[in-house]
Structure 1
Amino acid sequence: MTDLAQEIVATPASGRRKARPMARVGWLAWTSLALSILLLSPLVAVVAAAFGVDSGTWGHLLSTVLPTYVRNSVLLVLAVTCGVFVTGVGTAWLVTMCRFPGKRVLEWALILPFAAPSYVVAYAYTDFLQHPGPVQTWLRAATGWGPNDYWFPEIRSLEGAALMFTLVLYPYVYLLARTAFLNQSACTLEVARTLGRGPWRSFLGVALPMARPAIAVGITLALMETLADFGTVAHFGVQTFTTGIYRAWFSMGDRVAAAQLSLALVSVVLLIFLIERIQRGGRGFDTGRRFDALPEYQLRGVRAGLATVACVLPILLGFVLPLLILGRLSWLNAHALFGERYVGLILNSFTLAGSGAAATVLVGLILAYAARMRPGAMTTLSNRLVSLGYALPGSIIAVGLLIPLTTFDNALDSWMRATFDISTGLLLTGTIAALVFAYMVRFMAVGLNTLEASLGKITPSIDAAARTLGAGPGATLFRVHLPLISGGMLTAALIVFVDILKELPATLIMRPFNFDTLAIQAYRLASDERLAEASTPSLVIMAVGLLPVILLSRQIARSRPGAR
């Protein structure tokens, strides 16, 4: 903390120094609006490309592949909704309201599947459950059956994809549901117990309705990730909007078809947001009396064992088993985890993730600070518009950026050829700068929300004290606010860093030529059925993904005094 920040903490706002009027900061509001418009430009480009060219593509899509994309996407959404609701809410209620063996470990371990991208888990289970895999090999050896003598569930299917998404996305619902349960009023639950309601009836009639807004937000986030995924559905051969966008852009070279499919997917995403808003009906999040101890139900015997098993299974299937499978594959195939090839992949991945995280936090800080210093409709609207980027799949953002970038590069190259007989080539398309901008659009909401929460903890009296001590807006930001929110900035940067490291569709479409990352390497090897070799980059991704999981587990443990 700087000297000025320490002096402000120790000096009341009514100090004797003569206050200097705070300088006008109207430019911050306009800067915030300009940045939000810039970050929304990919979506505008998609809409313009979809309606700007009348080539009959939409009619062709409607009569051929679009019904399949819609059907598979709807089935995935329904299956994942049920899966994450049952798993996330059930485990959150058990570790919050019940006492049983292993509770202290399970309440933070349930977040571990967050560390594994869905496509990495899909690669692990494909090797484990496919016909030549260890499970079916052992089954044939134990029974003497031949290849056609038995039926075994097909992991590469829509049902298998839904299972993968459920195993890695339920922590969204778990985190928000557990926080909602922790913040509920102890008096309400005690009254329900006094009126004769047991644990099950209290859960269904009292706790669940009060936590409904938080659960709905968690399910919505899980569905956004499901619709945005490319690696899992592509590996399992499930045709969805994201695979269709990639195929239209690369296989057919039809940017109109890619834009129209992107617009259709955006419509589905907005429909989900609308449904979530309507069902919430303006209800907020119950906060209750946080310092009252929640009434816990002591589970014994069979009930305690079932509760432990119910909480262990998601961790085992979503994190431990995939980690063991990938570790076994890497060990058996003698892959050097930090060989020369993987050192280059790690450097490329960290370069993109570090640049994207730094740019995202910097722009997010400007937006958050503008909302603090100039609260009003303009800054509020700017920040809400920017947050829409998180709902856009990486494939849509990539298409929305590539369309104007390629148009500009081609026009510039044609003009330079005609005027100076010089070819400029592709100046912006396929560059790291363009890819970093795509990451900013995709993950700005993550960094912005964390920074807004950190700035919100600084009371207005701190700003008043800074003015009293003669500090202007710039000095207040650099000498007071930044030292106080340094922890929040680090958290935001770390979360965005890991999100970028795991991101696949935008990186796959927009990366510079011959610039591979860990995610790209894992996807390529898995696409070539070289799952054993894909295990090494997948392990590195999971290892780095543990960092934000540790932060999240520490935060949720401190979310209520006395909560273990």
Structure 2
Amino acid sequence: MIPMRSPLLPVAVAIAALVGLPVASVLTHLFAGGTGETWQHLAATVLPEYVGNTLWLCLGVGLGTALVGVGTAWLTAMHRFPGQAVFEWALVLPLAVPAYVLAYVYTDLLQFVGPVQTWLRETFGWSKADYWFPEVRSLGGAVAMFVCTLYAYVYLLARAAFLERASGMLEAARMLGVGPWASFFRVSLPLARPAIVVGVSLALMETLADYGTVAYFAVQTFTTGIYRAWFSLGDRIAAAQLAASLLGCVILLVLLEKLSRGRARFHNTTGRSRPLAGHTLTGWKGALATLACLLPLTAGFLLPAALLLKMALAEGDAQFGQRFLILARNSFTVAGVTAAVAVLLALVLAYSVRLARRSQPGWPSLLARGLNRLVGLGYAVPGSVIAVGVLIPVTRLDNWLAAQWQVWFGANPGLLLTGGIAALVYAYLVRFLAVALQTVDASLGKITPSMDDAARSLGLSQGLTLARVHAPLLKGSLLTAGLLVFVDVMKELPATLVMRPFNFDTLATQTYTLAADERLAEASTAALAIVAVGILPLIAISRQIARSRR
């Protein structure tokens, strides 16, 4: 191996420091003074409700996503039934529909003046007092919205785990006389436990990060409390303390996921890895399996997409013309800039680890890997927490820059960072850089180190080796990473609501604003655009799932 130094390590340290700054800013206000009256008011009035609703949300979403995700994953991975080849990739499509869009669609469908209850009253001649109908704008309704879209996280990871364990161990269990149900509960489910727990944890993190759904359903959680403290009460320290409390919930969730494994190990010790022939379900069993997969797909994607399309074509946004183009331009601008910068930073971080491992295997290598893990935690932090953490230091920097500009040039430039999209893009990077980093790092790890040695022996520098050898091999992964970040930014609502400049709206904020004004039909146009963009990365994932069986 040709020895190399890693000049990218200081750059990686700087990137990790910038990404960790918002979280550190929030944590420094956890025990800050000066908010006694506001905090006492929150503790005496709404804080217990925040805690209770957040816990119930996590419990309901955790159980619901685990049940639906594991059930559909087991059916599509280990059985053959009518429609199975379609369901194995189509069941990820609900991830394209944000939970707050589902909330708007089902409210329009199931409210008292909606088509469902109107049809019931007209068909049976009922009045309001003659029947009971579940209230969609409630805590239970919020749980249902999250389950309908977030179960796909559990489905993806659990299905992959079932397929990986599908050969030797299950065949051994069957040879010992263990039936299909017993092998599921005693072999497959325990071995897939880490994947299932990770999937549920991802779903719970998305639940804790949500603002649009809980705000529209009037369910008071930590996220709505942060927004209220920042804008309604005007107390930034109280908002930061609430954000720190929410961050503590996320950290606790991550630690519980790690501790739940204990000393258990989940290695595949068999050398047989060929796929196991699935059990064929016919008759009423096959019909039940088809129905079990069709229900979450319909509730999470088919029905909402059809209703959005119908409302958009029938009524849609009254300002669909130039106004919609401006919204789309704003959304695509911030999403495109964030995606490009995120891919570049992810490539720097991943390549710094590769160089450090080969040139400095001691503490520099450990530092580089630790920095990547620190950056990876950003995805677990809710957007509202990041927004608060970004605004506090960036606003101070903005004021300092304005004062210095006034001294140097004799003119007031205004807010250079928070007055434009720079601070907003920074918040997005803190939130979604981990998505790009994981994709790039996984692909870079598949490139054999011998290619580096061969390039170096031919006289190529580290930069030329990256440009001429690694970059062409990473082209597909870089595009995938950029696309994933692009879609995540398009859907992000809490950080956008807090961080956006004045008179700067996106498709997500337009959808939320119109829905909050009960203009659900008009909100359908922007919501449908978000869903359409969200389908793009899922097409690639679906194709990969479809090829996994082969």
**TM-score normalised by the chain length of structure 1:** 0.93
Matched, 1:91 2:72: yes
Which of 255, 271, 284 is the matching residue for 2:252? 271
How far 1:84 sits from its partner (Å)?
0.4
1:328 aligns with 2:304: no
Q: Which moved more, 1:352-361 or 1:195-204?
A: 195-204
Match of 1:52, SS?
coil
- Residue 317, structure 1, aligned to residue 306, structure 2: no
- Answer whether contact 1:91 1:310 (CA < 8 A) is retained: yes
Q: Is the 8 A contact 2:4 2:355 kept in 1?
A: no
Task: Note the alpha carbon deviations across 1:143-171, whole angstroms, 9 max, x for none.
Answer: 11112222110000000000000000001
The Cα shift of 1:444 comes to 1.0
Secondary structure at the residue paired with 1:200? helix
In the alignment, structure 1 residue 51 sits paired with structure 2 residue 40? no
Cα–Cα, structure 1 residues 420 and 104, in superposed 2: closer, same or farther, change >3 Å?
Answer: closer
Distance, in Å, in 2 between the alignment partners of 1:286 and 1:139 is 54
Distance 1:419 1:173, change over 3 A: same
Is the contact between residue 83 and residue 166 of structure 1 (CA under 8 Å) also seen in structure 2? yes
Where does residue 181 of structure 1 map in the other structure?
Answer: 162
The one-letter code matched in structure 2 to 1:455 is L
Q: Which amino acid aligns with 2:424?
A: L
Aligned residue in 2 for 1:149: 130
Once residues 402 and 457 of structure 2 are traced to their aligned partners in structure 1, the CA distance between those partners, rounded to angstroms, is 56
The one-letter code sitting in structure 2 at the alignment partner of 1:293 is: P
- Matched letter for residue 511 of structure 1: R
CA distance in 1, matches of 2:453, 2:435: 29
Aligned-CA RMSD value = 1.8
Q: Answer whether contact 1:518 1:541 (CA < 8 A) is retained.
A: yes
Query: Aligned partners of 1:175 and 1:103: how far apart in 2?
Result: 15
Count of aligned positions: 541
Runs of 4+ in structure 1 off by over 6 angstroms are 415-421
Deviates more, 1:340-349 or 1:76-85: 340-349
* Equivalent runs, 1:344-493 vs 2, <5 Å: 344-375=326-357, 376-413=365-402, 422-493=411-482
Distance 1:469 1:545, change over 3 A: same
C-alpha distance 227-481 of structure 1, shift in aligned 2 (>3 A):
same
Residue 233 (structure 2) aligns with: 252
Distance 1:122 1:451 in 2: 34
Contact 2:164–2:273 under 8 Å retained in 1? no
Match of residue 297 from structure 1: 279
Would you say 1:76 and 2:57 are equivalent positions?
yes
Q: How many angstroms does 1:339 deviate by?
A: 2.3
Task: Give distance in 2, aligned partners of 1:148 and 1:331.
Answer: 34
Q: In the TM superposition, what is the alpha-carbon distance from 1:474 to its structure 2 partner?
A: 0.8
Give the CA deviation at 1:461.
Answer: 1.2
Q: Which residue of 2 aligns with 1:18?
A: none
Q: Does 1:543 align with 2:524?
A: no
- Once the two structures are superposed, residues 478-527 of structure 1 have per-residue CA deviations (whole angstroms, 9 ceiling, x without a partner) of 00000000000000000110000000010111111111110010000000
- Tell me the distance in 2 between the aligned counterparts of 1:337 and 1:120: 19
Find the aligned partners of 1:536 and 1:163 in 2 and give their Cα distance.
Answer: 23
After superposition, the Cα gap between the structure-2 partners of 1:421 and 1:30, relative to the gap in structure 1 and judged at 3 Å, is: closer
Matches within 5 A, 1:25-36: 25=6, 27-36=7-16
Contact persistence 2:166–2:275 (CA under 8 A) = no
2:361 corresponds to which residue? none
Equivalent position to 2:491, from 471, 480, 502: 502
Paired-residue identity, %: 57
Tell me how far apart the structure 2 counterparts of residues 23 and 295 of structure 1 sit (CA, whole Å): 49
- Report the counterpart of residue 136 of structure 1 in structure 2: 117
Deviation at 1:337, TM superposition (A): 9.6
Stretch deviating more after TM superposition (426-435 or 215-224): 426-435
Q: Is the 8 A contact 1:183 1:289 kept in 2?
A: no
Whether 1:127 aligns to 2:108 is yes
Are residues 296 and 228 of structure 1, via their aligned partners in 2, closer, same or farther at CA, if it must alter by over 3 Å? same
Q: Decide whether the 8 Å contact of 2:384 with 2:498 is kept in 1.
A: yes
2:501 aligned partner, one-letter code:
P
Whole-angstrom distance in 2 between the partners of 1:48 and 1:316: 45
Q: Within the alignment, does 1:114 sit opposite 2:114 as a pair?
A: no
- In structure 1, stretches of 5+ residues that fail to align are 1-12, 14-20
Shift of residue 196, structure 1, vs aligned partner? 1.8
Is the contact between residue 346 and residue 440 of structure 2 (CA under 8 Å) also seen in structure 1? yes
The answer to whether the 8 Å contact 2:81/2:289 transfers is yes
Shift of 1:22: 5.1
The whole-number CA distance in structure 2 between the counterparts of 1:338 and 1:55 is 44
Structure 1 290/497 Cα, relative in aligned 2: closer, same or farther at 3 Å?
Answer: farther
| Aligned residue number for residue 211 of structure 1 | 192
Indicate conservation of the 8 Å contact 1:185/1:290, yes or no.
Answer: no
Higher relative contact order (CA 8 A, sep 6+): 1
8 Å contact 1:211–1:286 — kept in the other structure? no
For 1:334 and 1:413, how far apart are their aligned partners in 2?
43
Partners of 2:510 and 2:123 in 1: how far apart?
A: 36
- Following superposition, the deviation at residue 291 of structure 1 comes to 4.2
Using the TM superposition, give the Cα deviation of residue 189 of structure 1 relative to its aligned residue in structure 2, in angstroms.
0.2
Q: Could you tell me how far 1:466 is from its partner in structure 2?
A: 1.1
Tell me which amino acid in the other structure corresponds to 2:347. L
Alpha-carbon distance in 2 for matches of 1:254, 1:212: 43
Q: Structure 1 residues 322 and 337 mapped into 2: Cα distance closer, same or farther (>3 Å)? A: farther
Q: Which amino acid aligns with 2:14?
A: A
CA shift, 1:411, in A, is 4.5
Partner of 1:7: none
Asked if 1 retains the 8 angstrom alpha-carbon contact of 2:93 and 2:535, the reply is: yes
Query: 8 Å contact 1:186–1:289 — kept in the other structure?
Result: no
**Partners in 1 of 2:154 and 2:272 — Cα distance?**
20
Preserved CA contact (<8 Å) 2:209 2:381: yes
Distance, in Å, in 2 between the alignment partners of 1:289 and 1:99 is 25
Q: Deviations over 1:503-557 (max 9, x none)?
A: 0010111111111110010000000000010001000000111001111112223
The separation in 2 between residues aligned to 1:419 and 1:210, in whole angstroms, is 65
- 1:240-274 per-position Cα deviation (integer Å, ceiling 9, x unaligned): 01111011111111101100000000000011111
Q: Does 1:192 align with 2:170?
A: no
- State the shift of 1:371 in Å: 0.7
